[in-house]
């Protein structure tokens, strides 16, 4: 019976290009599409001074990975990029390089806006069609029919259902011990101990200013 012994190595002789299969989806996309067109999309939103930013191609490719893999969280997405060899190869990050922080994605969304990302995905889809990766003719959806955990014989018509009250009537129906304060419908001037009410005109003969 063989036993695999784990020994930590200091130096490795390997390449990400050899570890990622050639038929992997990201490998096929990376070989077929030239993403250099991305540099022109967000160029007006960058300054010529300051610290160098994360490569825009890395930002857009990361969001493309999120779309293809169905990841709904930026934090989870960058955690997957950290440990996934195919993701690192697609983004151009070697094994010893730290991946960007997840906050750069949310900042990029605010900075670039919807039009820049729509232009990116539209151009990417056009390039995928030219490379015969997408035909755009049919969409296949995998679904499973599941019976609801309820008996139709137990359903009863809601005959005693009352329509919802207007907002002000809802506040009037609140109990007196409710922790929510009532909504003030009108602000009345507060009268101090000595003097006219605050907010009222102290000079009866003075005309109000418009």
Q: What is the pLDDT of residues 9-62, one digit of tens each?
A: 788 788 888 889 999 999 999 998 899 999 999 998 888 888 888 999 999 999
3-state secondary structure (DSSP) of residue 135: coil
Residue 78's CB is within 10 A of a number of other CB atoms, namely 20
Q: Is position 77 within any domain?
A: yes
Query: Which tens digits make up the pLDDT trace of 79-130?
Result: 999 999 999 999 999 988 999 999 999 999 888 888 898 899 888 888 888 8
Q: Is position 184 within any domain?
A: no
Q: Is position 164 within any domain?
A: no
Q: Is position 48 within any domain?
A: yes
3-state secondary structure (DSSP) of residue 198: strand
Structural domain boundaries enclosing 68: 24-130
Tokens in use for 44?
């007006």
Q: What is the number of structural domains in the chain?
A: 1
Predicted TM-score (pTM) of this structure: 0.60
């Amino acid at each position: 019976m063989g036993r695999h012994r784990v020994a930590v190595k200091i130096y490795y002789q390997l390449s990400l290009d050899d570890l990622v299969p050639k038929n992997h989806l990201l490998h096929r996309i990376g070989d077929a599409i030239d993403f250099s067109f991305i540099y022109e999309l967000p160029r007006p939103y960058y300054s010529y001074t300051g610290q160098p930013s994360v490569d825009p191609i890395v930002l857009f490719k990361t969001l493309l990975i999120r779309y293809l893999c169905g990841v709904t969280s930026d934090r989870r997405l960058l955690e997957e990029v950290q440990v996934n060899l195919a993701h690192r190869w697609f983004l151009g990050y070697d094994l010893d390089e730290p991946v960007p922080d997840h906050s750069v994605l949310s900042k990029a969304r605010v900075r670039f806006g919807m039009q820049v990302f729509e232009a990116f995905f539209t151009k990417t889809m056009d390039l995928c069609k030219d490379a015969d990766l997408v035909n755009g003719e049919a969409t296949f959806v995998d679904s499973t029919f599941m019976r609801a955990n309820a008996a139709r014989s137990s359903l009863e018509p809601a005959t005693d259902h009352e329509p919802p009250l207007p907002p002000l009537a809802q506040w009037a129906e609140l109990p007196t011990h409710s922790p929510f304060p009532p909504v003030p419908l009108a602000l009345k001037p507060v009268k101090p101990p000595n003097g006219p009410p605050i907010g009222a005109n102290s000079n009866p003969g003075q005309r109000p200013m418009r």
